[in-house]
Amino acid sequence: MRQNIAAVLIFRDGDKIAFIKRQNTGWMDGKYALPGGKVDTGESFTQGIIREAEEEVGVTLKPKDIEVVLVAQVRGADDDNIWTNVIFEAHNWEGEVHNAEPDFASELVWLDPKDLPVDETVPQTFFYFEQLAAGKHYGEFGWKQDA
């Protein structure tokens, strides 16, 4: 079993959220996901999401313009990977949000999180928005629930 850490980012434009459609990654290709990725060894969550934002969607973030909105522990379907995901929301950024990694994302689209295409969205994404709508700041996805 492996423990992994990732940072994920929410960009809002009114009621819409920026999503990338994954490709050529070997994980959930063809599905919409929020921008983000693994936090590198020696990197803080903040440093990781600032780097990922620049790499994936071509914008510059400053620590004062982002905030943690949710922490989620996610268990993979194969039970071999456990992820601690820190979900940030950006309140300001420099540049235009766009698909900056066309080799790994086929498109960047702005979607309403209340109307995501079920078969085309990474499953835990629904969980993130359910937790946020409920006012929660921590959640566990993919774990067997105790009775």
Tens digits of per-residue pLDDT, 63-79?
999 999 999 999 977 66
- Answer yes or no: is 147 within a domain: no
- Domain holding 59, by residue range, is 2-141
pLDDT at 79: 61
Number of domains in the chain: 1
Q: Is 143 a residue whose pLDDT tops 70? A: yes
Residue 9 · residue 90 · CB < 8 Å: yes
- Answer yes or no: is 146 within a domain: no
Distance of CA 69 to the CA centre of its chain: 12
Taking residues 112-117, what's their average pLDDT? 95
21/48 Cα distance (integer angstroms): 20
- CATH number for the domain harbouring residue 85: 3.90.79.10
Q: Please report which confidence band the pLDDT of residue 147 belongs to, taking 50, 70 and 90 as the band edges.
A: very low
118/132 Cα distance (integer angstroms): 18
Angstrom CA distances, 13 to 49, 72, 82, 96, 105, stand at 19, 23, 31, 12, 20
- Answer yes or no: is 95 within a domain: yes
- Answer yes or no: is 23 within a domain: yes
